[in-house]
Amino acid sequence: MSLRETILQKPVPQHIAIIMDGNRRWAELHGLPRVEGHEQGYKAIHDIVDACDAIGVRYLTIYAFSTENWARSKEEVEALMRLFIDACRWEIEELHAKNVKVNFLGDFDALSEECRREFQKTVDVTCNNTGITFNIAISYGSRWEIARAARRLAMQVKEGLIEPESIDEQALSGQLQTAGMPDPDLLIRTSNELRISNFLLWQLAYSEMYFTDVLWPDFTPEELYKAIDAYQHRQRRFGKRV
C-alpha cells in the first residue's frame, strides 16, 4: 500500500498551514540566481494544492511573503512581486476550473496597485467556488493581524456597538483574516528551520507542528503525505488529559 493510500485510511487534516522555506538555499545549492529558487518554489505550490485537494484537505494556507521580507533587497522583492502577479494571471483559469477558492491574507495597503488589482481579481473570480480554500499570505505578519483585530474591536467599543466585557476569544477570532475558517490542524515548515516566524500566532495555538529538512522546491506530494502520516500518529489533547 502506498503512503497516500495509507493516510487515506484515517482522517486527514482539514486545514494545513505551510511555511515554505528554502527557496534561496535551493538556488545557491544549484548555482542559480535566487529568483530561480523562487520560481521552482512556485512550481511546488501548484503540486501541493492539487495533492491537498485530491485527498480531502479543505483549507491550505501558505506563507508566501512576510512583513519582514520587505527588508530584502529591492531586486529580490520586485522579482517576487512580479512572480505573484504573473502567477495570478497564469493560474486563475485553472484554479477556477478546479473549483478552488483563493483568499489573500496580509496588508494590501503595502502592495502596489497592480498587485492589489490582480489579487482582487483572483479572489472575485473564485469567491463562489466550493472546493479547497487556498489562502496565500503575502505582506502578512501575525502581530500586525492581531493588532488590526484589536483596533477594529476598539473602534466598535468607541462607537457604542459592543461593550468591552463582550470581547472574548471568539470576538477577536472573528476580526482575524481567517474568520470563519477552522484553525490549522497541522503546520509544516521546510528547510529545517524550527520556528514559526510571526505566522498565524493566534490560529496555531493547538496545531501539530512538523519540521523537515527538505527545501521547499523539493517538497513533493510524497513529502506532504509523510507530514500527514506523522500527524495521524499523534494524539491531540488540546490541553486536556486523555
Confirm whether 229 is a catalytic residue. no
- What is the C-alpha separation between 188 and 212, in angstroms, rounded? 8
Confirm whether 185 is a catalytic residue. no
φ/ψ region of 116 (left if φ > 0, alpha if ψ in -120 to 50, else beta) reads alpha
**pTM for this model (two decimals):** 0.95
- What is the C-alpha separation between 154 and 31, in angstroms, rounded? 51
Cell of 4: 497516500
Of residues 69, 107, 129, 218, which has the active-site annotation?
69
Domain ranges of the chain: 12-230
- Segment 88-112, tens digit of pLDDT: 999 999 999 999 999 999 999 989 9
Q: How many CA atoms does the CB half-sphere of 197 hold within 13 Å? A: 21
- Segment 154-192, tens digit of pLDDT: 999 999 999 999 999 999 999 999 999 999 999 999 999
Cell of 70: 520587505
| b (16+ CB within 10 A) / e for 54-70 | ebebbbbbbbbbbbebe
| b (16+ CB within 10 A) / e for 157-186 | eeeeeeeeeebeeeebbebbbbeebebbbb
- What is the C-alpha separation between 80 and 39, in angstroms, rounded? 9
CATH superfamily of 12-230: Decaprenyl diphosphate synthase-like (3.40.1180.10)
